[in-house]
Amino acid sequence: MTSTLETVLEQINGTKPVLEQIANKWSVLILAVVCTQPSRFNAIKRRLDPITHKALTEALRRLERNGLVDRRVIASSPVAVEYSITPLGRTLQAPFTALIAWVQEHGPALEAARAAAEARAEE
């Protein structure tokens, strides 16, 4: 039994660096935006309000570095940058869709549990 637990923990710890790159709140939302269509920086920023310019820049760089989004400079006046999903990034669409469906189904139960815990803490 212990060896099974140790194996599971090793597998979890082995995935931690990747999960930290793709599963933070902004990365998931950015990927959801660019999965539907290529988008310019400011369009992404408007869709994800209240994300800061700095947070969006850092998240997009991280996603690009990990091969999940492509960055394309558009020669226009002024110069624009467009981000699109890569084939590797698109493979996350199904897990993210499942996660969103889970949240929609179980979100009310989570909110009820949180409210109950806060009520107990106030007693």
Higher pLDDT, 63 or 17: 63
In sequence order, the β-bridge partners of residue 69 are: 85
Q: Tell me which of 12 and 63 has the higher pLDDT.
A: 63
Domain residue ranges of the chain, discontinuous segments joined by +: 2-91
- Nearest Cα to Cα of residue 90 among 44, 37, 12: 37
- What is residue 2's predicted lDDT score, i.e. its pLDDT? 58
3-class SS of residue 59: helix
Has this prediction a pTM greater than 0.85?
no
Q: Does domain 2-91 have CATH number 1.10.10.10?
A: yes
